[in-house]
Chains A and B, each alone.
Chain A
């Protein structure tokens, strides 16, 4: 099925023009002009200056600046040629390869000529920085050269709050000259995208432990343990989202080490933070003592019928929508059946939410799941009408697939051209009719899947824990295009920008590009 190209391009340009993430940085504009040949036909319709309050629902072609590509978290990229096959051995269609740590969960993001990844220090890339740390690496988009590394020591409390070797599991958010992420120490970090290469130590945070040219320039940090009393269960992992002056973060507040109850139920679960200062603007702890395990989901943001909404998935199995400016509740939806029973270890019928909500066409797509190491159990995937108010569990449920039909998952849904792609931890990728939930097809990934599907160029891309990046045809009939061997497990979601596909395995970051795509980039 050919995607409706004109619609997709218009929306891409609209989001490009109006969305503050991209509009600040000049490199985008340059790339935009270079790629204008492909999209010029739609420029006239596409640039009716939209209101500044409009968040992007899709990434621009020139950037993939956050988890899911845009605040709506719907990993669907505008048209650009992406190869179905490549070969790590011969380097066919491989633009560059960069070494990461040894465990990588903070998927790649791309903006302003840089690529960012959250990983660990297993490869000890920076001379003199040894041992277990959490790291964010910044690479040059064109060459894959390492520009700088943010380094975070492990928490003294160990695996209870900062699991060994897991590194920074947050997928960074890039906004102009700032990059935001949650460190392994449960701190919300704001860093300068230029690192110390601009010759300045931006503050208020100025007492960096590492101050070499290849170290990170932190601007501010919000220590969610020290300042907010949060108890992150095993690891803080949220990928922030933002709009306007605010950042939105799930704190990862969770249960104690014995899995009995949250030791700090009054600490916030969801916060809004001033992007410039790192000051908390509002906080909520709706899941409170009902947190089942951890809170590892990330929020999404969208405009629904003129009302901005920020969506959080709680560790109590509910999805919450709040008014972004104030934190006032708009609606909440319970993803577990009312008679579901929680058992630590995953044996019960009730479970948590790790996946990130995805917004498309005034609907939220979200499924339940827990720590991938817990026992398997019945899953629940929903399409939720985001226009209702109050407890909308009964009224906003548009469709549901679960039980044996769809397992527990930590992956997000991708929605494109009336089709919703959703994958469960067991590795079954389903294509559903976005309106009805009717299944079009199901594909066996033949391995566990943590990452989420990404749609681009008429293809669905998805990595698995056996180190394969599978490429299927985007459409209502199943067609496998390729299973690409990536050598190491993939626990991240691919990103696409400027005609380049970025895939982070546990140990390497690959930039993948067709010869035509390479030609177009050089044309810049």
Chain B
């Protein structure tokens, strides 16, 4: 894990935080390391029969955006009829602090049987909150008051794609920039200055796509890695110049899940809809980067959730049409180590050597994953509606939502003891 640790340090240095956070935070899609792992400790090994202790819960409204937090406020998005709503809640009590709305009527060419999102997860940087709605309304807000500081309507301005079911990828920060997928008329990805909202760069043209970008260090250079349709690309996050690009089979163009970085130079992608998982090595030869496929495994098809790397293997929820399986995949060979039924399509978190599983039917589970298999220690139904949102873990507190409600659960040891809940302890 030495390589991993150094990469985590590099990723932390990349983040905009100039000071050590006062309390645990989850500022972006994927959390502190943008890979759905975090450094929480003290998680209980078992939960009570009916699930972890509920600290609070409240109705929020439809939407699938994940929850980010500076430790004090929680931020997410939901839909109110033909409007998008950006919401701030008190982490301690679940009380709503502010709500900012804007009009976002759906377009006639959208597919709306699963709603109009929002799917994209807000991004916190300093005192600012960046959000993107289902119709690619990009907003920068003051996180304390919810006041809009600047905005872009990226469908109008750049021909950005609403991806038929509503824009979904989550923005990322780089230095003084915020970067997001566009899938527009002449640009695939664009960067904006955080302070003014001014366009800093536009990449060459790529299709739009649901996977969220990540920024990693390969060959001592920064790469913004993202999957857009059949393109797997690495850009220079400072300029938007393409560093490498691999065009994969059209059957892998329906990719929605986020890539996973395997330091020092490998990237894992997984795609549902009859797709599969691929591991690429990003090689630097003769002054040029090239992405080379190391293996392809059609049996692991992660639809819209995330995948978790644990040592030498990857865990993901595989399935598109029909049943889902949790699958452990050997990173060096691409071989399926194990697969297990019992959860609908699921999103995953990893902390304190524990896998936290939330399936789309609202079952939350605590498990141990090893190359030998998955051992589920506790499982409870905690959400009622469609649960497509990856939960957020800060300290021992888990924030999660479905298409209607948002809640806080205590995953700490000795459930019920508030001392185990870092946020409460801080207060």
Interface, chain A (partner B; CB < 8 A): 102-103, 122, 159, 165, 257-259, 344-345, 372-373, 376, 425-427, 444, 446-450, 465-467, 487-489, 506
Contacts and interface: CB of A to CB of B under 8 A. Distances in A.
B111 interface: yes
B112 A447 contact: no
A372 B321 contact: yes
A506 B274 contact: yes
Contact of B321 (A257, A345, A373, A506): A373
A467 to B, nearest CB: 6
Binding site secondary structure of chain B: loop
A446 B299 CA distance: 10
Given A446-B339, A465-B274, A102 B250 contact: yes
Interface string B164-186: 00000000000000000000000
Interface string B325-343: 1000000000000010100
Interface in B222-240: none
18 contacts: A102-B250, A103-B251, A258-B113, A345-B113, A372-B321, A426-B322, A427-B323, A447-B323, A449-B322, A465-B274, A465-B320, A465-B322, A466-B298, A467-B298, A487-B298, A488-B274, A489-B298, A506-B251
Interface string B299-321: 10000000000000000000111
A122 B319 contact: no
A104 to B, nearest CB: 10
B249 interface: yes
Given A103-B274, A165-B250, A465-B274, A259 B113 contact: yes
Nearest to A258: B112
A344 B250 CA distance: 29
Q: Which residue, of B112, B320, B321, B325, has the highest number of chain A Cβ atoms within 10 A?
A: B321
Contacts of B112: 258
List the 4 shortest-distance A-B pairs measured between CB atoms, nearest first. Answer: A448-B322, A372-B321, A425-B322, A426-B323
Contact of B274 (A258, A376, A489): A489
Contacts of A257: 111
Contacts of A446: 325, 339
A45 to B, nearest CB: 45
B299 A467 contact: yes
Interface of B: 111-114, 249-251, 274, 298-299, 319-323, 325, 339, 341, 344
A448 B319 contact: yes
Contacts of B274: 103, 465, 488-489, 506
Contacts of A372: 321-322
Given A159-B111, A466-B299, A506-B274, A376 B344 contact: yes
Contacts of B299: 447, 466-467
A487 B299 CA distance: 9
Contacts of B325: 446-447
Contacts of B250: 102, 122, 165
Contacts of A444: 341
A515 B371 CA distance: 40
Interface of A, secondary structure class, is loop
Contacts of A487: 298
Nearest to B164: A159
A450 B114 contact: no
Nearest to B251: A102
Contacts of B339: 446
Given A102-B249, A466-B298, A466-B299, A345 B114 contact: yes
Contacts, number: 60
Nearest to B254: A165
B323 A344 contact: no
A159 B341 CA distance: 32
Given A373-B321, A427-B322, A448-B319, 8 more contacts: A103-B251, A165-B250, A344-B113, A425-B322, A447-B322, A448-B320, A448-B322, A450-B322
B345 to A, nearest CB: 10
Contacts of B113: 258-259, 344-345
A506 B249 CA distance: 13
A160 B344 CA distance: 27
A465 B251 CA distance: 14
Given A257-B111, A345-B113, A450 B298 contact: no
Nearest to B253: A165
A446 B300 CA distance: 12
A394 to B, nearest CB: 32
A380 to B, nearest CB: 17
Contacts of B322: 372, 376, 425-427, 447-450, 465
A344 B320 CA distance: 18
Contacts of B251: 102-103, 122, 506
B252 to A, nearest CB: 10
Contact of A448 (B114, B298, B321): B321
A264 B321 CA distance: 28
B277 to A, nearest CB: 12
B106 to A, nearest CB: 11
Contacts of A159: 111
Nearest to A488: B298
Contacts of B323: 376, 425-427, 447-448
Contacts of B341: 444
A273 to B, nearest CB: 31
Contacts of B320: 373, 448, 465
Most chain A C-beta atoms within 10 Å of own C-beta, residue among B274, B298, B322? B322
A173 B52 CA distance: 57
Contacts of B344: 376
Contacts of A102: 249-251
A444 B323 CA distance: 12
B93 to A, nearest CB: 32
Contacts of A122: 250-251
B321 A465 contact: yes
A425 B319 CA distance: 12
A447 B318 CA distance: 10
Central interface residue in A373, A426, A427, A466, by most chain B CB within 10 Å: A466
A425 to B, nearest CB: 4
Contacts of A488: 274, 298
A257 B108 CA distance: 11
Best-buried of A122, A426, A465 by chain B (most CB within 10 Å): A465
A371 B321 CA distance: 8
Nearest to B299: A466
Contacts of A373: 320-321
Of A165, A450, A467, A489, most buried by chain B (CB within 10 Å of CB) is A489
B57 to A, nearest CB: 21
A210 B208 CA distance: 34
Contacts of B111: 159, 257
Contacts of B321: 372-373, 425, 448, 450, 465
B161 to A, nearest CB: 15
